[in-house]
């Protein structure tokens, strides 16, 4: 039980402690700060076996602060730079940094640091998950389908980039805020997508990634500087998608598409929250791709049944989205929508613009769409060929089982067993 409590606290509070202590001691000491926070949790796991403190979070915060000071006192070259947090005005100022509002401010500073444009795009997600969200290197590697050594290198690169570029631990102001905020929103969007469309072999959905991305997005909305229409739209999008998580698999842990999901399992409070955020998001003259994606997700949620889905409206939103941000994945999705409206000619036209290598790890989606097209147009031999190609390159076990069921239906139509 103690281990579960400590794991929970580490995930939810280590990012807070790292952020606040970084604000006190500076980004150049981030390695030492992270080690100190880690040591604090190890100490907690030993100490709490005998007696759990009344306020675990306060205990951890104080212990982490003291642990950092212990380490800094051993670094003689840094002694002259240390604030005297044990007495006087410095003590008051430091303690105020541990108030809830100041903790949130420190975390926002860390988010902007982690998502800085001068960091390699591949490194931003790893660095954000480590410093802001408290994910371990092992967890990050698992979430991103990457070796632990690769994550270590990314984190090291990010730290070096911060030092070399002399990145400041602050929320940007003025004209630079918009550009920097775009980078933050992109990282949060990618974290959520990795959770919602997991590439992991055994797990379709990583709910902790979705929850963390949503938490950080909501944190942006608490600050007047970062409370923008785009941030509201992204948060609405996350709420809409997250509301369907429980319905994406059945009791046998089988993947269910929208047509077969139990809509009574959709989480209404999250839909309501998404709607309220969407109302605020559209208070602008320009819509971002977060706006259009949220509008698409909302259309699916409006439909009482799959048959009630307004596919024409969804196709229009996708066309707007593709005009704003041309992507091959949008073309593929528009083809799939045309299959729903039985506009097979337009569906084939969209698919003819694509190649399997356009989608790398997700090439199975392209092959699956072709299989659906040929199934719908009564060409089961072609459908079978493409469903087999989809099965050859799918990595997730649940999605593989889903495609196997499709194959069985195609075989029955083709007169094969």
222: helix, strand or coil: coil
Among 169-178, 201-210, 321-330, where is mean pLDDT lowest? 201-210
User: In 3D, which of 129, 115, 126, 98 has the Cα closest to residue 211?
Assistant: 129
Q: Would you state the pLDDT for residue 88? A: 45
**What pLDDT, on a 0 to 100 scale, did the predictor assign at position 68?**
72
Q: Is 255 helix (H, G, I), strand (E, B) or coil?
A: strand
Residue 87 has pLDDT above 50, yes or no: no
User: Across the chain, what does the average pLDDT equal?
Assistant: 85
* pLDDT range class, residue 295, cuts 50, 70, 90: very high
Per DSSP, helices labelled H in 267-342 are: 268-281, 289-302, 311-324, 328-340
As a whole number of angstroms, the distance between CA 69 and CA 65 comes to 6
User: Structure tokens of 194?
Assistant: 């990795």
Average the pLDDT over 280-289 and give the result: 92
Q: List pLDDT tens digits, range 228-274.
A: 999 999 999 999 999 998 888 887 777 788 888 999 999 999 999 99
What does the domain layout of the chain look like in residue ranges?
Answer: 329-417
Beta-carbon contacts of 370 under 8 Å, excluding residues fewer than 6 positions away, are 351, 382, 383, 386
What is the distance between the alpha carbons of residues 362 and 248, in angstroms, rounded to a whole number?
18
Cα separation, 343 vs 125, whole angstroms = 39
User: So what's the pLDDT on residue 310?
Assistant: 95
What percent of the chain shows pLDDT beyond 90?
A: 42
What CATH architecture is 329-417? Answer: Alpha Horseshoe (1.25)
> What tokens does 304 get?
């009482």
Q: Identify which of 332, 331, 269 has the alpha carbon closest to the alpha carbon of residue 301.
A: 269
CB-based contacts of 12, cutoff 8 Å, min separation 6: 134
CA atoms of 188 and 181, how far apart (whole Å)? 11
- The pLDDT tens digits of the residues spanning 125-150 come to 899 988 888 888 887 887 776 889 99
């Amino acid at each position: 039980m103690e281990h579960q409590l400590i794991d929970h606290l580490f995930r939810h509070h280590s990012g807070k402690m790292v952020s606040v202590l970084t604000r006190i001691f500076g980004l150049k000491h981030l390695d030492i700060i992270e080690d100190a926070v880690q040591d604090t949790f190890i100490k907690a796991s030993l100490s709490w076996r005998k007696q759990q403190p009344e306020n675990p979070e306060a205990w951890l915060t104080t212990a982490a602060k003291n642990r950092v000071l212990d380490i800094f006192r051993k670094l003689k070259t840094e002694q002259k730079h240390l604030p005297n947090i044990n007495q006087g005005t410095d003590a008051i100022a430091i303690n105020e940094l541990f108030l809830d509002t100041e903790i949130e401010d420190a975390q926002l500073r860390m988010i902007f640091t982690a998502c800085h444009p001068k960091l390699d795009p591949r490194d931003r997600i790893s660095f954000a998950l480590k410093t802001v969200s408290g994910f371990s290197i092992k967890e990050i590697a698992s979430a991103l389908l990457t070796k632990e050594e690769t994550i270590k290198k990314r984190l090291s690169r990010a730290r070096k980039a911060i030092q070399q570029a002399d990145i400041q631990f602050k929320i940007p102001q003025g004209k630079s805020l918009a550009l920097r905020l775009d980078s933050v929103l992109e990282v949060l969007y990618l974290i959520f997508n990795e959770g919602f469309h997991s590439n992991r072999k055994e797990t379709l959905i990583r709910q902790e990634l979705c929850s963390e991305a949503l938490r950080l997005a909501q944190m942006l909305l608490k600050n007047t500087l970062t409370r923008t229409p785009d941030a509201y739209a992204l948060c609405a999008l996350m709420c809409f998608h997250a509301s369907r998580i429980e319905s994406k698999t059945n009791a046998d842990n089988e993947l269910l598409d929208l047509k077969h999901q139990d809509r009574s399992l959709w989480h209404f409070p999250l839909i309501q929250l998404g709607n309220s955020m969407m109302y605020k998001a559209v208070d602008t003259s320009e819509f971002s791709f977060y706006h259009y994606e949220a509008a698409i997700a909302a259309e699916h949620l409006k439909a009482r049944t799959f048959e009630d889905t307004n596919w024409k409206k969804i196709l229009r939103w996708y066309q707007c989205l593709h005009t704003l941000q041309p992507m091959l994945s949008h073309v593929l999705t528009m083809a799939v929508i045309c299959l729903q409206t039985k506009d097979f000619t337009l569906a084939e036209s969209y698919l003819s613009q694509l190649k399997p290598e356009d989608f790398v790890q997700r090439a199975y989606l392209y092959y699956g769409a072709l299989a659906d097209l040929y199934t719908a147009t009564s060409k089961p031999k072609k459908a079978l060929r493409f469903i087999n190609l989809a099965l050859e390159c799918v990595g997730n076990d649940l999605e593989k089982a889903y495609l196997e069921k499709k194959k069985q239906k195609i075989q029955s139509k083709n007169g094969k067993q």
